[in-house]
Copies of this chain bind each other. A is one copy, B any other.
Amino acid sequence: MSTITLTAQELAERLGGALQDCPADRPLVCVMPLDEAVESAVSFLANPKYLDKAQNSHAGLILCDTKTVLDGRPRLIMQNPYWGFAQAVELLHPEPLPAWCEAPIHPSASIGEECRIAPGVTIGANSVVGPGCVLHPGVHIGDDCVLGEDCEFFSGVVLYRRTKVGDRVRIHANSVLGSDGYGYVMANGRHEKVPQVGYVEVADDVEIGAAVTIDRGALGPTRIGKGTKIDNLCQVAHNVQIGEHCLIVSQTGISGSTTLGDYVTLAGKVGVVGHIHIGSRSIVGGNSVVAKSLPEGSFSTGFPARPHRQWMESQAALNRLPGILKKLAKVSQKD
């Protein structure tokens, strides 16, 4: 991704922290999560919950705050390591400017055989469109995208740069893949942007409805598994991982970094919080709000979601409650 190199010392100067247990001349070329990081990568620890991960991380430099005890790990001590992380991403992963030219289809793009490309389609630099694809009027594909075979994208579909799409993927009108995730860090009384430099990856045989939004990962991918079908107006946040053959019904929203197993069904208008896991073959009833991880094969409903049967019982009881309270009031008056 990145060809920029900064030494630990240079990074410390830019971000304004104190370097400890780290060679000043260590070369750093990218930002990575604690558990994936290699020696040339910067990582960060903002939540003490992940202290263990930090202790075992292979990161070449870990941004952490003044209260964190992280003996022996190469680290950069600062007040707000999450803000430091945001700045490090910006320094090491700058977004290239889009490579537009006069031609709607960039000369460096590659279009497979037997594609049907409508008027008003734009395709960015270095993008590859597989054979047999059909792109309707007004589809916009950014730079460095890859489309497999026999995809059909309807009018107004937008792919941000670096989106990867498998074979036989259908995307309906005005859906957006690869928009920035919703990531900010409070610094100096402002919400500073955490640059979003990941991408979206969609596997084979996925169908995506109209006006769906799928954000790219902050780092790394947001993933939609093979054969999954997403209905209109759904929101899939950054770094969500959806398994294979899931059904995500209309107006559902899935928050950042949540993972779904395979064959999961989220009925319409479901909301799912971030950083949880929904086990394979789970069903969530319409309009429910999933606030905790769900085991495989679960069936949940409600706000917050609870086992479906429990929710049904509690709603039945709730309907009886006003009458019961009235009766109790009468009884206690009699006493």
Contact = CB atoms under 8 A, between A and B. Distances in A.
A227 interface: yes
Contacts of A191: 227, 229, 245, 247
A320 B174 CA distance: 45
B172 A249 contact: no
A124 to B, nearest CB: 9
Given A100-B137, A322-B316, A190 B154 contact: no
A176 B173 contact: yes
Contacts of A190: 205, 227, 245
A324 B324 CA distance: 12
A227 to B, nearest CB: 5
A5 to B, nearest CB: 27
5 contacts: A154-B158, A176-B211, A179-B232, A182-B229, A269-B271
Contact of A172 (B103, B180, B303): B180
Q: How many copies does the complex hold?
A: 3
Given A118-B100, A155-B140, A172-B180, A210 B210 contact: no
Contacts of A287: 271, 289, 303
A258 to B, nearest CB: 12
Nearest to A320: B325
Interface stretch (A50-58, A65-73, A307-315): A307-315
A4 interface: no
Q: Interface majority SS on A: helix, strand, loop or mixed?
A: loop
Interface residues of A, number: 79
Interface of A: 97-98, 100, 102-104, 116, 118-120, 122, 134, 136-138, 140, 154-156, 158, 160, 170, 172-174, 176, 179-180, 182, 184, 189-191, 193, 205, 207, 209-211, 213, 215, 227, 229, 231-233, 235, 237, 245, 247, 249-251, 253, 255, 268-269, 271, 273, 286-287, 289, 302-304, 306, 310, 313-322, 324-325
Contacts of A155: 122, 140, 158
Given A154-B158, A174-B211, A269-B269, 5 more contacts: A104-B120, A176-B210, A190-B227, A211-B233, A304-B315
